[in-house]
Amino acid sequence: MDKKYLILTYGCQMNVHESEKLAGILEDNGYSVCDNAVDADIVVLNTCAIRENAEQKIFGNIGELKNIKLAKPEMIIAVGGCMSQQKNYASEIVKKFPFVDIVFGTHNLADFERLLKTRIKTGKRIAETTEDETIALRDNLNISRTSGVNAWVNIMYGCNNFCTYCIVPYVRGREVSRPEKDILREVERLLKEGYKQITLLGQNVNSYAGVDENGNKVSFAKLLKDVDGFDGKYRVRFMTSHPRDLSSEAIDVIASSKHICHGIHLPVQSGSNNMLKVMNRHYDISRYNSVVDEIKAKIPDAELTTDIIVGFPGETDQDFEDTISVMKRTEYLQIFGFIYSKRKGTPAEKMVDPVDMKTKKERLNRLLEVKNEIIDRKSAEMLGKTYEVLVESYDAKNDILYGSLDSGKTITFKGNKACVGEFVDVKVTNVKKSVLVGEIVSDTSAFVEKNFKTPIEVSILPKDQKSLKILRDNKKTAKDANDKKSKK
């Protein structure tokens, strides 16, 4: 019988890509994808630990799976990723959720096949995490890509920065860079396969420190230059950059490149020197501003996006105003604002925090207001202009195409499904707040439909009521059998 898998992914792009690796393992083992837990023979939760609300959502979702497992005891539930990797979490998850079968961490993703086989063979529950791993194992996995025209490519794993609020160095370990030739070979193959955008992934890509075939050191700037060197039309993006490490050489390469996008994600976290210091960010705001100025001078059409934390322990009104100032100065195209969330085991956990939640929420709201002012104004300025757009997907229900500008901003427009995966010129004809609508102004007649695998929308409970009925019938049969047994 055809076995089905469901993967629930939480958190960042790194996790989205690692779910593609988990999907690869499951497909190698005869499973095919489904979109809900009722139909699934195995459910894998690929978890996140960056903020407390991510964890609460995941715990809630594991709880929701309990009823389904009661009706389908043979269904395997596996919990992996950053949350499981945290100290003592694996044993806690096992204790708290007796219906979870496998717990694994970030460092033993490549072992998932073995863990799954052991669970099936022995019927025993498994909780296994490790600190050290052989990265090459993770790099050699079969990847089931479902990110449409985009292909994710890991260039490095881990982080050495230890920002005081951040759990990442504890759950993803120290920085390890992949050899350059492995990355280039992967990019070349992906371009041959027809992917139109390559996104280089790492927690701090600017500190990439690989080696070439002769054992010589390769910097991020050199890697970018080489990734830019293939024939054909394609885009390269990278995330995430660190303001201390984004070098002038890398900015020069981006400025003179053919394929590297001018939309750069450069998390500032705070505009206050006091906060940057206690956050252990290794730069002050004048260094940040000078990187921004250098980017804008060398790449006139550059667009920056950022992450900001409000309400870090001890943040004063003035510190927060400094953050508002850097937002206005940099004129970001997108801003991701977060309220600080205390993470177990990080240095900030122990910091005294006199700021109350009400103030933090007010600051976030103010941040969002200023963000909208900036983004709406920048979007309004785009009206009437024409941009090169990579067409990313077609929404059949609304008969509309979605695409992205070089800056990363999304735009929708009418057009044929065959445009997906092509570069077209789109004129912005309507702007509502920060939402762009446009029309194609270049010739699309020669395009043919291509076959990009897109992510399916998944949920725990099925949208289709039929599966739910089967689940209820199963539960009833199980209950009847149980009643009979206890009567006996």
Site residues (CB under 6 A) for ligand SF4? 159, 161-163, 166, 168-169, 203-204, 242
Would you say 251 or 308 has its CB closer to ligand SF4?
308
Would you say 168 or 264 has its CB closer to ligand SF4?
168
Least distance in Å: CB of 265 to ligand 5AD? Answer: 9
Burial class (CB in 10 A: 0-12, 13-18, 19+), 253: buried
Number of residues that bind ligand 5AD (CB under 6 A): 12
SS3 76: strand
Binding-site partner at residue 343 among ligand SF4, ligand 5AD, none, CB < 5 to 8 Å by type: ligand 5AD
Nearest to 25, CA basis, from 105, 140, 103: 140
Q: Which residues pair with residue 81 across a beta bridge?
A: 47
Would you say 270 or 407 has its CB closer to ligand SF4?
270
Binding-site partner at residue 204 among ligand SF4, ligand 5AD, none, CB < 5 to 8 Å by type: ligand SF4
SS3 264: strand
For residues 326 to 345, the per-residue mask of contacts with ligand 5AD, x marking binding by CB under 6 A and - elsewhere, is: ------------x-xx-x--
Q: Which of 173, 267, 415, 438 binds ligand 5AD (CB under 6 A)?
A: 267
Q: Which helix (H) or strand (E) holds 307?
A: strand 303-310
Q: Binding to ligand 5AD by residue 220, rule CB under 6 A?
A: no
Q: Which of 116, 156, 159, 166 binds ligand 5AD (CB under 6 A)?
A: 166
Least distance in Å: CB of 168 to ligand SF4? Answer: 4
Per-residue CA distances from 163 to 87, 283, 388, 442 (Å): 18, 11, 37, 46
Structure tokens at 423: 């570069």
Would you say 163 or 405 has its CB closer to ligand SF4?
163
Binding-site partner at residue 407 among ligand SF4, ligand 5AD, none, CB < 5 to 8 Å by type: none
Per-residue CA distances from 281 to 169, 357, 407 (Å): 14, 24, 26
Nearest to 36, CA basis, from 472, 460, 468, 463: 460
Binding to ligand 5AD (CB under 6 A) within 27-56 occurs at 50-51
Residue with the closest Cβ to ligand 5AD?
307
Sequence letter at residue 192 = K
| Cα–Cα dist 166/109, whole Å | 22
| Cα–Cα dist 483/488, whole Å | 9
Would you say 36 or 269 has its CB closer to ligand SF4?
269
- Evaluate whether 38 touches 471 at the Cβ level (below 8 Å): yes
Q: Which residues pair with residue 387 across a beta bridge?
A: 426
Least distance in Å: CB of 293 to ligand 5AD? Answer: 22
Nearest to 58, CA basis, from 35, 38, 77: 77
Least distance in Å: CB of 229 to ligand SF4? Answer: 28
The footprint of ligand 5AD (CB under 6 A) covers 50-51, 165-166, 267, 269, 307, 309, 338, 340-341, 343
